[in-house]
Amino acid sequence: MIALKIAKPVLPDYWHKFSPQKFTLPQLLACLVLKIVLRTDYRGIVALLQDCPDLCKAIGLKTVPHFTTLHKASRRLLRYKVFDKLLGSTVHTVLNDRPIELAAIDSTGMEAGHVSRYFVRRKRSKQLETWEETSYKRFPKLAVVSDCKTHLILSAITTRGPTVDVNQFCKTLKPAVDKCRIKHILADAGYDSESNHRYAREICQIETTIPAKYGRPTTKLPKGKYRREMRTDFNEDAYGQRWQVETVYSMIKRNQGSELGARSYWSQCREMLLKVLTHNIAIIQLVKELFYRACLTP
Sign of CA dihedral 80, 36, 148, 265: negative
Write down the pLDDT at residue 111: 87
253 contacts 63 by C-beta, under 8 angstroms: no
Do 98 and 111 fall into the same domain?
A: yes
Whose CA is closest to 140, among 118, 111, 163, 166? 111
Separation CA 140–CA 266 (nearest Å): 10
| In a shared domain, residues 47 and 106 | no
Written in H, E and C, the secondary structure of the chain is: CHHHHHHCCCCCCCCCCCCCCCCCHHHHHHHHHHHHHCCCCHHHHHHHHHHCHHHHHHHCCCCCCCHHHHHHHHHHHCCHHHHHHHHHHHHHHHHCCCCECCEEEEEEECECCCCCHHHHEEECCCCCCCEEECCCCCEEEEEEEEECCCCCEEEEEEEEECCCCHHHHHHHHHHHHHHCCECEEEECHHHCCHHHHHHHHHHCCCEEECCCCCCCCCCCCCCCHHHHHHHHCCCHHHHCCCHHHHHHHHHHHHHHCCECCCCCHHHHHHHHHHHHHHHHHHHHHHHHHHHHHHHHCC
Between 214 and 196, the more confident residue is 196
**Domain stop point among 45, 77, 109:** 77
If phi > 0 it is left, if psi is from -120 to 50 it is alpha, else beta; for residue 193 that is: beta
Mean pLDDT, residues 198-211: 96
246: nearest Cα among 237, 236, 254: 254
Mean pLDDT of 251-273: 92
User: Which of 9, 181, 174 has the alpha carbon at shortest distance from 90?
Assistant: 9
- Give the CATH number of the domain where residue 185 resides: 3.30.420.10
Residue 233 has pLDDT above 60, yes or no: yes
93 and 41 part of one domain: no
Domain final residue, candidates 57, 77, 97: 77
Q: Are residues 87 and 140 in the same domain?
A: yes
Residues 133 and 237 in one domain: yes
Residues 58, 88 within the same domain: no
**Quick one: pLDDT at residue 213?**
87
> What pLDDT score was predicted for residue 277?
96
101 and 72 in a single domain? The answer is no
**How far is it, in rounded angstroms, from Cα 22 to Cα 32?**
16
Lowest mean pLDDT among 99-103, 168-172, 206-210, 211-215: 211-215
Q: Is residue 296 very low, low, confident or very high in pLDDT (cuts 50, 70, 90)? A: low
Residues 259 and 198 in one domain: yes
97 — pLDDT class (breaks 50, 70, 90): confident
**Percent of the chain with pLDDT strictly greater than 70:** 89
User: Parallel, antiparallel, or unpaired for β 103-109 and 139-147?
Assistant: antiparallel
Q: What is the pLDDT of residues 20-72, one digit of tens each?
A: 889 999 999 999 999 999 999 999 999 999 999 998 998 999 999 999 999 99
Rounded to whole angstroms, how far apart are CA atoms 69 and 80? 20
Average pLDDT over residues 241-251: 95
pTM of the model: 0.88
| Pair 254, 157 in one domain | yes
pLDDT > 90 in the chain, percent: 71
Mean local confidence (pLDDT), 198-217? 92
Q: Specify the higher pLDDT residue, 141 or 134.
A: 141
CB 55 within 8 A of CB 38: no
pLDDT band at 216 (very low <50, low <70, confident <90, very high): confident
Q: Is the pLDDT of residue 225 over 70?
A: yes
Nearest to 8 by CA among 93, 120, 113, 104: 93
Domain of residue 284, residue span: 80-296
For residue 212, which phi and psi values (nearest 5 degrees)? -85, 80
The pLDDT assigned to 24 comes to: 93
Q: Are residues 90 and 236 in the same domain?
A: yes
Which of the listed residues 26, 42, 77 is the one where a domain comes to its end? Answer: 77
Residue 141 has pLDDT above 60, yes or no: yes
pLDDT at 252: 96
Pick from 30, 113, 18: nearest CA to 65: 30
- For the chain, the domain total comes to 2
pLDDT for 122: 52
Residues 119 and 72 occupy one common structural domain:
no
Tell me the CA distances in angstroms from 281 to 33, 228, 259, 277, 295, one per residue in order.
9, 40, 20, 6, 21
What is the residue type of 263? R
Residue 181 confidence (pLDDT) above 60: yes
Whether pLDDT at 154 is above 70: yes
Clarify whether residues 110 and 241 are in a common domain.
yes
pLDDT of residue 118: 52
